[in-house]
Amino acid sequence: MSTHGPMLPVWSCGGCGAPWPCATRRRELLAEYEGAPVSLAVYLGAQLVRAGDEKFHYSDGSHRWTAPDPEYDQEVWEEQVRQHKLGHLRNERPRVRIRRIL
């Protein structure tokens, strides 16, 4: 695993501090996804989706249950976090149905 991952929300490289993806990570991605441009596009797209999540996550990936703004209605915030977590669950479930072989 690379140490040159994105540091959100500023999108700097965790390995060298350059804007992400830095030159090192670009080389790593090109080597890792050689001959698989669609997979590379999916990976980079997932990073963009992840960028929209930062208001619900702490930097370690855990969910933020306390509203970031003290003026924000805590009950509304908690419902938004619950809905956000349900979105994770919907995306993590396998889309392929496994049939039992007898």
- Per the CB < 8 A criterion, the answer to whether 67 and 77 are in contact is yes
Preceding omega of 68 cis (within 30 degrees of 0): no
For the stretch 61-92, pLDDT in tens is: 677 777 777 788 888 888 888 887 887 777 65
3-state class (DSSP) for residue 94: coil
For the stretch 16-32, pLDDT in tens is: 989 889 999 999 999 99
Task: Tell me the β-bridge partners of 12.
Answer: 7, 19
3-state class (DSSP) for residue 7: strand
Q: Token pair of 64, please?
A: 């933020």
- Per the CB < 8 A criterion, the answer to whether 51 and 8 are in contact is yes
